[in-house]
Amino acid sequence: MSPARRRIAAVIAAALLTAGAVLRAGEPSDAEKNFFLLRKHYLAWRDALFGSRRYHERKLFGFLRSLLGKEITTGRDYVLASPEGIFDHRVLSRFENSRWLYIHGELDEDSARMIADSDFAAMKGWWQSGVTVAVTGKVKNFKIDRDARGDIVRLYLEKVRILDDAR
């Protein structure tokens, strides 16, 4: 067997072992399932060819309508948009591959206290530390949009709650 084929076999074996460990970790909540389904619909729309793009956009729109009033929990991809993010209630995805989903909404008071106890220096340190967190909330509204990065989805949540490992 050639070295390239051995490497491919090793990568496949590692992926299978990792997937098995993830599957045994526990069943995701409905809010997490909503996020993964949203991502699936978004990717189908973004990657669609010329003739089927409108079809996938309608499917995405229908799924987003079904999400209204339901909880959604993102992956651990988000940080405050800036040290002032606590005051202007903005969070932003840290990773380039997750910049398709923009989260808007008022930051929950408990989440703001969790970040820093009204100490601006601590907030600034948290922002610069690169700590990423999951974001959760109930979907109030949405918008399918485009910006300089390409196709995006904007979710407006009633209250944006930040989840850390302790919760």
Over residues 50-96, the pLDDT tens digits come to: 888 899 999 999 999 999 999 999 888 777 665 555 555 556 665 66
**What's the CA gap between 51 and 53, in Å, rounded?**
6
pLDDT at 16 over 70: no
Give the pLDDT mean for 140-160. 88
Q: Categorize the per-residue pLDDT at 99 as very low, low, confident or very high, splitting at 50, 70 and 90.
A: confident
Buried b (16+ CB within 10 A) or exposed e, 55-69: ebbeebeebbeebee
SS3 content of the chain, % helix, strand, coil (to 5): 45, 30, 25
The dihedral region occupied by 89, where left means phi > 0, alpha psi between -120 and 50, and beta the remainder, is: left
The per-residue pLDDT for 166 is 44
Q: Is the Cβ–Cβ distance between 142 and 155 less than 8 Å?
A: yes
Closest listed residue to residue 74, CA positions, set 130, 155, 167: 155
Highest-confidence segment of 20-29, 116-125, 133-142: 133-142
* Distance in angstroms (rounded) separating the CA atoms of residues 73 and 128: 23
Mean pLDDT check: name the lowest of 64-68, 92-96, 132-136, 147-151.
92-96
Size of the chain in residues: 167
Q: Which of 19-23, 27-31, 72-76 has the lowest mean pLDDT?
A: 19-23
Q: Evaluate whether 139 touches 67 at the Cβ level (below 8 Å).
A: yes
